Structure 1
Amino acid sequence: MADKGDLGWRLLAGAAAFGAGFVARKTITIGWKQITGKEPPTNPESPEVALAEAIGWAVVTGVGMEVARLLATRAAAKRWHSSTGELPAALRSAADKVKNAGS
């Protein structure tokens, strides 16, 4: 069973990732409109969408969303570390886990 610290970290990281994903999606959509001059494809899997446009949208959103999630989770981990004095268990290295298990 997860302890309170683990649950707290999961909630914090999940909220940070969700918020970052929401903001990233809006930002990517606005950027796509400015660069291409048209709305992003709503269904890139459709044969009616040009293959280059579908692949471009998939790459831009995939990379953009993952980078946003990564940055948000790292910021949350930094905040967690500053308030608790240690990294969340999920982010500790194997050596740190062994060291802390012996204490």
Structure 2
Amino acid sequence: MFFCPQIQFTEDISMTIPSKTTFSIGDTAKMSGASQKQIRHWEAKGYIPEAIRVVSGDRAYRRFTLGQVEAIGKIKAYLDEGYTLSAAAQKVNGTDISKKEGRNHA
């Protein structure tokens, strides 16, 4: 189980939201606790996988999978604990680093 400030994820969240397979950046931000600006930045820098782009007219909209929403929420939680963005992303992606290396020290 994974806890985000706004939502608690369980392994069977698909039963809670059966009709949703992807989420807008606004919904992703609400569920993960990260801002839309943070999500765009993390995506641009490669800390999270690129969102699916859905074209509508002249615009392309980001759509995130549930796995991406969970990863974004975990990164945000690690940042709130004092990890750097790089260290938080490495932890979420399974790279083992020590907390000492990954924490911001003022």
For Structure 1 versus Structure 2, the TM-score category normalised by the shorter chain is: under 0.3
Highest CA radius of gyration, 1 or 2? 1
TM superposition score normalised by structure 1:
0.26
Higher relative contact order (CA 8 A, sep 6+): 1
Q: TM-score, normalised to structure 2's length?
A: 0.26
Compare the two structures and name the one with the higher strand fraction: 2
Say which structure is richer in helix.
Answer: 1
